[in-house]
Structure 1
C-alpha cells in the first residue's frame, strides 16, 4: 500500500506558503476529535471539555470542504491510529496531510523556514503574544483569543471573526497565521467561506516560541523521540476506506440494537449498514417495524430460510470494496473495523474475530484436541494466520464471489460450512485468512465483546449449540478436503506449532499477571490491617 511521509508533505506544503499560494491548512488531533465526540478532554493549557458544545458543532461543520486548495491535517496511524481512521472516514476531501506537519522531525527546519516569511499577515493567537514580534512577518493586526477555548468560542470568537471580516474581509493575498487551539479550525472555516483568496494556516504550537516566548512541547528538544519521528500515513489518493457492514438476524433480534450502537461508535465509519433477516421455518415469525428498519441503508427480508449462506450471497450486493459481516451474537469493540482495515492494508485477506487452526483433518469441532482457537475466546497479541474464521468476517467483496464458485455440494449443508468454504476458496485465489490482534489490554480492537458473545451465543436458537449442526461441520471438513482444499497444518506445520507456543506463552503470562495482582492485593490488605 502506498504511503506518504511527514517530511515530504512539509516540503510540498510549505513551499506553497513561501510561493504566496492561497492555500488553507486545517489541522485536527486527538483534542479536536474528543471535543467533537463529546469525550472528556483536559488540555495542558488548563481548559477541559466533556459532552456536546457549540465548539463541537463548529468543528464538525469545518470538516466539509472539498476544495483542492484546502488541506486537512489529521492524526497519523503511527501516532494515533483510532483518530486517523475517525478522520479518514468523516472527511470527504482527498487533500489529506499530517496534523503534525510543522513539528516532530520537521520542527527544526520549520523554525528556520518560518523566518523567511515576510508577507503581510493577520495573526489570530493567544493573548500572551499580542505585543510580540512574530518572526519577520509584516503583522497588520493581532487578534487575541483567550485561554479557555470552550468559553472563548461561545463568548468571544463570533465577534472576533466579525471584526476580522469587517476590517480585512475584502483584502486578498494575506497570510492568516492562526494559533488558537481547537478554535483555529472553525475560525479559519468562517474566514475562508467569506473570502477564499487568502492563505489560512493553523500553525498551532509550532509558533509558541513567538506567542509564549519559549518552546512548550517535547518535539522542540533535539534528540527526543518526537523530534526524530518522520510520521507516515496511507496515500489518501489511493487508500480506500469504504466498508459495508452486514448484520444478520434470525431468532435473536434483541441483539440488533446493541450491534447498531457498536457500529455507530466505530472509529472507521462504514459507508453503509445493511441487514439480512433470515426467515424462520415453522409456526412463528419475527417482524421488525419500519421505523427500526429505517436504521439500515438496505434490508433483505428472506421469504424462506436460507441458512448461514444467504447473508454472504446478499453481501455480494454491497457497494464498498470491503465488507464486514457479523453473526447475530457478535458485538464489536469500537476499533474493530479499523483494526481489520489496517491489517488489510499490509496483507490482503480475510479477517475474523475467532479463528480455527486445525491440527489434523478430523475431529473438528467436537474433538477439542484436534484444533486450537485464536481471537476473542483465546486472545492473541499479534496477527495470526488461521484456516478459517467466524463470528465476524472482514474481507474484500470479491472474495464473496469466490465462495460460490463450484460449491453447490457444500451449500447443501445450509447451516454449516460457509466459514471454511469461504476461506478455502479465497486461498485458491491467493487470499489467506487471519485473526488480527486481540490483546488482553485493549478490547477496543476485539471483534466481539466476550461477555455479550456468551450471553447471545448460548441463547435459544443458537446454531452452534445444536449437536446436529456440529456433526454437519465435522462432515463438511471431510467433503471440503475432497475438493482439494488444504489446511495450514499441511501447508506449514511449523507455523501451526509456533503460533500455538506463542499463544500459550501469552496466556501464561497473563495468568501470572493476574496471580501477582491477587497476591499484591492480599499482602497490601494484610499490611494495611
Structure 2
C-alpha cells in the first residue's frame, strides 16, 4: 500500500489547529500493544495484559479491528512509525492485510518522544480552553487535574486491565452523553486499548464532540506516577527523537529505534538530552 511521506511535526500542527479551531474529530492510536492484539490475539506489558479466555480475547480483538478499519470523515488512526519496522514488521502486516484510508493515517507517536514537549507546551494549554470529558485510570487525581485549569465536566474512571469490561465502559459513556446531551466537548481518553474500542463508537453516535486517545502522555496532569519511559528521564535520548514515516524529513534526523546506534552515539545523545532538559527547566 502506497502512502505519502509524513512529517511528524506537520502532523502535530494539523491536530493542534483542529483543536484550536474547534473542529470535531477523533484520533485513535495503535501502538505495539494494540497491534500485538490484532496480529496475535494476546499481549502482556506493565500497564495491561490480554489474558482472558478465548471468547473474551476474540471479542476484544474484533473491537480493535473495527477501530483500525473504521473509515469516516474526521476519524484518524495513529500507526507505528517505520523506525522499528525491521524488528516488528507491523506496518507491513497492516498494509498487507487491511484496506485503510491513507488520508486518515498519522503517527501513533504524535504525543511522545520529542513531541511530548510540544504536547505539554502547545496542545495542553489549548485543551484547557474547552469543556473536557475524561476517561482515565481510577487512581487519577481529579482535584489536581482541575486545579491545573482543565474545565472538567465528566469523569469516567476505569481500572487497570479495563479491556475486560470495555463493553460496559462503552455503554456507560454513551448513556451519560445521552442523559446530559453532551455536545462540543473534548473527550480525553487515557485508558490503554479501551480507547481504541470506544472512540469509533462515540464518533459514530455523537460526532458533535471530539475524541482524542491521549494515552499516558496525560499522566503528569492526572497526578499519576511519572513512569519509566525513556523520553521522560532527564538523560533519556528519545526526547530528541522524531519518528519517520517512510524516510527522514530532516538531515541527521534522530529516530526512536536503538538499532544502528552505537554505545558511543547513544552516550552522546544522552548528554544532549540532559543539556536539553537543563535548558528547558530554565524557561
TM bracket, shorter-chain basis: 0.7 to 0.9
Instruction: Give the ranges of 4+ consecutive aligned residues of structure 1 lying more than 6 Å apart after TM superposition.
Output: none
State the secondary structure of the residue aligned to 2:188: strand
Would you say 1:143 and 2:162 are equivalent positions?
A: no
Larger RCO: Structure 1 or Structure 2 (Cα < 8 Å, ≥ 6 residues apart)?
2
Q: Structure 1 stretches of 5 or more lacking a match?
A: 236-529
In 2, are the aligned partners of 1:49 and 1:150 still within 8 Å (CA)? no
For 1:216-365, list aligned pairs within 5 A.
Answer: 216=227, 217-234=229-246
Q: Distance in 2 between matches of 1:176 and 1:39?
A: 28
Distance 2:111 2:99 in 1: 21
1:115 matched residue in structure 2: 125
Deviation at 1:17, TM superposition (A): 1.3
Answer yes or no: is 1:176 the counterpart of 2:176: no
- Report how many aligned residue pairs link the two structures: 233
Gaps of 5+ in 2: 248-283
Kept in 1: contact 2:41–2:58 (CA 8 A): no
1:353-410 CA-to-partner distances (Å, cap 9, x unmatched) read xxxxxxxxxxxxxxxxxxxxxxxxxxxxxxxxxxxxxxxxxxxxxxxxxxxxxxxxxx
Distance 1:157 1:104, change over 3 A: same
- Equivalent runs, 1:440-455 vs 2, <5 Å: none
Spell out, residue by residue over 1:129-150, the C-alpha distance to the aligned partner (whole angstroms, 9 max, x if none).
1534434321101101110133
Question: Could you tell me which residue of structure 2 aligns to residue 22 of structure 1?
Answer: 24
TM-score normalised by length of structure 1: 0.41
> Residues 150 and 2 of structure 1: is their aligned pair in 2 closer, same or farther, counting only changes over 3 Å?
closer
2:99, 2:143 → 1: CA distance?
36
Query: Is residue 70 of structure 2 the alignment partner of residue 65 of structure 1?
Result: yes
- 2:221 corresponds to 1:210: yes
Mapped to 1, the partners of 2:194 and 2:150 lie a distance apart of 22
CA distance in 1, matches of 2:66, 2:195: 13
Measured in 1, the distance between the counterparts of 2:69 and 2:99 equals 7
1:94-173 correspondence to structure 2 within 5 Å: 94=102, 95-113=104-122, 114-117=124-127, 118-129=129-140, 131-134=142-145, 135-153=148-166, 156-168=168-180, 170-173=181-184
Q: Which residue of 2 aligns with 1:435?
A: none
Q: Which residue of 1 aligns with 2:101?
A: 93
Report the CA distance between 1:221 and its aligned residue. Answer: 2.6
Closer, same or farther in 2 for the Cα pair 1:189/1:2, shift >3 Å?
Answer: closer
Hey, which of these two has a bigger chunk of strand by percent?
A: 1
Contact 1:108/1:220, CA 8 A, preserved across alignment: no
Structure 1 SS opposite 2:220: helix
| 1:7 aligned onto 2:17 | no
State how far apart, in whole Å, the 1-side matches of 2:191 and 2:224 are.
Answer: 16
Larger Rg over CA atoms: 1
Most deviating of 88-97 and 105-114: 88-97
Equivalent position SS for 1:209: coil
CA distance in 2, matches of 1:212, 1:201: 19
Measured in 2, the distance between the counterparts of 1:44 and 1:219 equals 17
Aligned residue among 181, 187, 206 for 1:195 = 206
CA distance in 1, matches of 2:217, 2:27: 14
Paired with 2:137 and 2:70, the residues of 1 have a C-alpha distance of 26
Counterparts in 2 of 1:143 and 1:2: CA distance versus 1, 3 Å: closer
**Cα RMSD after superposing both structures:** 2.3
Alpha-carbon distance in 1 for matches of 2:112, 2:72: 25
